[in-house]
């Protein structure tokens, strides 16, 4: 169990094998998204000899996966079908598990931090809730290490 | 791209001028009298790495004036009940979520009168779910 901030165990612990309401596992979503990132890497490698590499294309692809309404926005996709906390934890876990190895960890933290700062700026939560790296929130903090350690959810 | 530009403009504006998003859900729990009640206000947001957040407020209305004090907040908090033992002691049942902060004693002031409440979180509620 992952310890939560207030000492109580974090409920809804998530890992690669966690099943989502449609029967698919979080790991399957992670694999699909990582396959998209790998395709970008392969394309860039093919273009490298011609010197036509876009170093930002991997970030653009990752942003399209992580954005609100995207393929790992589980709270949106499975709204009303499971606990929002479980779905949010799954989203945070997938975010780090997908990015690991493709996106520098600092950039992942900065992305989560931007979400956290925005939430605090509009008054959704207090700054005391931004307990993660670069002002990422408590939910991101809880799922960061398991997501990064998942090693891309190998099949 | 337009959304990104708007966000880049609005975020610093929010930080400096302050802009508050309204809660997406408000639930009311009655108190020991009509003058005292609690509200559970939740801010829900979609997005892979966004979090829902809940704040619980105590309200006191007296002589046409009112006071509102936040005493409990946290991620994905859901209250199943508030039980009152007398007029100044409440036991709060949290069925889901994680507590970020909790103040067990609070005093509300309105209409020239003050009202103190002692709150207790019941750890047994979670196991009963």
Which among B21, B44, B49 has CB closest to A115?
Answer: B49
Computed from CA positions of residues A127, B75, B72, B60, in that sequence, does the dihedral angle turn out positive or negative?
Answer: positive
Which among A84, A122, A138 has CB closest to B19?
Answer: A122
Sheet arrangement for strand B89-102: B25-30, B36-43, B53-62, B65-84, B89-102, B113-121, B105-110
Q: Using a CB-CB distance cutoff of 8 angstroms, which residues of chain A are in contact with residue B20?
A: 122-123
The domain tally of chain B equals: 1
For the complex shown, is ipTM > 0.85? no
Domain that holds residue B65: 21-128
The domain limits of chain A are 26-149
Q: Using a CB-CB distance cutoff of 8 angstroms, which residues of chain B are in contact with residue A76?
A: 46-47
DSSP letters for B33-96: STTEEEEEEEE---STT---EEEEEEEEEETTEEEEEEEEEEEEEEEEEEEESSSSEEEEEEEE
Q: Looking at chain B, which residue has its C-alpha nearest residue A137?
A: B51
Token readout for A92 is 């945070």
pLDDT for the residue B12: 64
pLDDT for the residue B7: 60
**Each residue's pLDDT tens digit, B18-69:** 577 899 999 999 999 999 999 999 999 888 898 999 999 999 999 999 999 9
Whole-angstrom CA distances from A103 to A97, A114, B43 are: 10, 16, 30
Which residue, chain included where needed, has tokens 């942003």?
A: A63
d(CA B106, CA B114): 10
**Each residue's pLDDT tens digit, A100-117:** 999 999 999 999 999 999
Q: Are A126 and B100 inside 8 Å of each other by CB?
A: yes
Residue B41 lies inside a defined structural domain of this protein: yes
Q: Looking at chain A, which residue has its C-alpha nearest residue B77?
A: A85
Contacts of B23 (CB under 8 A, 6+ apart): B41, B42, B43, B55
Q: Are B19 and A70 inside 8 Å of each other by CB?
A: no
3-class state of residue B16 by DSSP: helix
d(CA B108, CA B39): 14
Q: Check if the beta carbon of residue B106 is closer than 8 Å to that of residue B92.
A: no
Angle at B71 between CA B67 and CA B77, to 5 degrees: 125
Confidence of residue A53 (pLDDT cuts 50, 70, 90): confident
Q: Using a CB-CB distance cutoff of 8 angstroms, which residues of chain B are in contact with residue A77?
A: none
Contacts of B40 (CB under 8 A, 6+ apart): B26, B27, B28, B29, B54, B55, B56, B77, B78, B79
Contacts of A39 (CB under 8 A, 6+ apart): none
pLDDT for the residue A7: 37
Which residue in B48, B97, B101 has the most chain A C-beta atoms within 10 A of its own C-beta, making it the best mutation to test that interface? B48
pTM over 0.80: yes
| Distance between start and end Cα atoms, chain B | 45
Residue B15 lies inside a defined structural domain of this protein: no
Q: Are A117 and B11 inside 8 Å of each other by CB?
A: yes
In chain B, residues 19-38 whose CB comes closer than 8 Å to chain A? 19-21
Q: Other CB atoms closer than 10 Å to residue A81's CB: what's the count?
A: 11
Chain A interface includes B129 (CB < 8 A):
no
pLDDT of B16 strictly over 60 = no
β-strand partners of B72? B56, B102
pLDDT for the residue A2: 32
Q: Are A6 and B99 inside 8 Å of each other by CB?
A: yes
**Each residue's pLDDT tens digit, B57-101:** 999 999 999 999 999 999 999 899 999 999 999 999 998 888 999
The winner for highest mean pLDDT among A20-29, A47-56, A121-130 is A20-29
Contacts of B113 (CB under 8 A, 6+ apart): B62, B63
Residue B13 lies inside a defined structural domain of this protein: no
């Amino acid at each position: 169990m992952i310890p939560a901030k207030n000492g109580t165990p974090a409920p809804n612990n998530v890992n690669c094998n966690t099943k989502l309401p449609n029967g698919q596992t979080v790991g399957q979503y992670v694999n699909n998204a990582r396959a998209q990132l790998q395709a970008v890497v392969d394309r860039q490698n093919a273009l490298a000899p011609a010197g036509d590499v876009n170093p930002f294309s991997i970030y653009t692809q990752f942003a399209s996966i992580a954005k609100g309404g995207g393929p790992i926005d589980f709270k949106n996709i499975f709204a009303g079908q499971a606990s929002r906390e479980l779905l949010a934890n799954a989203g945070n876990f997938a975010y780090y598990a997908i990015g690991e190895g493709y996106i520098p960890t600092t950039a992942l933290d900065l992305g989560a931090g931007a979400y956290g700062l925005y939430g605090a700026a509009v008054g959704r939560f207090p700054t005391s809730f931004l307990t993660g790296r670069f002002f990422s929130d408590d939910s991101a903090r809880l799922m960061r290490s398991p997501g990064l350690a998942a090693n891309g959810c190998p099949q | 791209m337009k959304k990104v530009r708007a966000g880049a403009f609005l975020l610093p504006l929010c930080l400096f001028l302050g802009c508050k998003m309204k809660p997406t859900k408000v639930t009311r729990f009655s108190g020991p009298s009509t003058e005292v009640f609690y509200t559970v206000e939740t801010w829900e947001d979609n997005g892979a790495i966004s979090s829902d957040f809940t704040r619980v407020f105590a309200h006191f209305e007296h002589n046409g004036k009112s006071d509102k004090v936040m005493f409990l907040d946290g991620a994905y908090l859901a209250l199943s009940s508030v039980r009152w033992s007398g007029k100044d002691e409440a036991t709060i049942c949290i069925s889901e979520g994680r507590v970020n902060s909790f103040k067990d004693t609070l005093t509300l002031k309105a209409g020239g009168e003050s009202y103190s409440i002692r709150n207790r979180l019941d750890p047994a509620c979670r196991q009963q779910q």
